[in-house]
A and B are shown apart, each in its own frame.
Chain A
């Protein structure tokens, strides 16, 4: 079974802090994604990566950056956390290639910025 693991289930950070959310997948997937989930807004794509050191902006990249130094690991960085970044963050991975679009999710990180 595919396993996508997020480093923390719950985080509480202060406004202005730099925050790192880590995600690791163990199935050699090419693609990795970061989403945030908010009530009434569904899942929104922040950034994705289709290869090591490659990254692409999603729908809401402002205030975030990402890093993919190794294939299995995709990190989301909040450069200076703000209260409007309080949310559930979900990492996902997929195999990539034509017809291989099934994304598998981690358990989520609930971030609270105070």
Chain B
């Protein structure tokens, strides 16, 4: 299947710091989604992006759909302990139908006391 390169693989930060992660691909995507997964749970949708250049916020989270349609980033401002988890990007390929999303391998966010 198609590959999404998600980075960084893990992040060790202090509470209160801002966080930035991104996904890139060699393919063009119609849709970018960002999910968060808590330990032992299923991923939960955070933000959905449908237009190139679109910038969307959800509380302290901000995500952007890259102009080239081949990348997206997620920022978290002023991190708090409950932000700990795995963050996944996911994309729907241009021309893709119902054949599911392509997922990045996730960014593990760890907040140090």
Contact = CB atoms under 8 A, between A and B. Distances in A.
A and B: bona fide binding partners: yes
B48 A102 contact: yes
Interface string B18-51: 0000000000001101010000111111001010
Contacts of B43: 43, 90, 105
Given A31-B98, A48-B100, A50-B97, A101 B105 contact: no
B44 A105 contact: yes
Chain B contact residues, majority secondary structure = loop
Nearest to B1: A59
B87 to A, nearest CB: 12
A16 B101 CA distance: 31
Contacts of B42: 4, 90, 92, 105-108
Interface residues of A, number: 30
A99 B35 CA distance: 17
A113 interface: no
B66 interface: no
Contacts of B92: 101
Given A45-B1, A59-B1, A103 B105 contact: no
Interface string A21-46: 00000000011010100001111110
B103 interface: yes
Interface string A80-106: 000000000010101010010111111
16 contacts: A43-B43, A48-B98, A56-B98, A56-B99, A92-B42, A99-B50, A101-B30, A101-B31, A101-B33, A102-B45, A104-B45, A105-B43, A106-B42, A107-B41, A107-B42, A108-B42
Interface of A: 4, 30-31, 33, 35, 40-45, 48, 50, 56, 58-59, 90, 92, 94, 96, 99, 101-108, 110
Interface of B: 1, 30-31, 33, 35, 40-45, 48, 50, 88, 90, 92, 97-101, 103-106
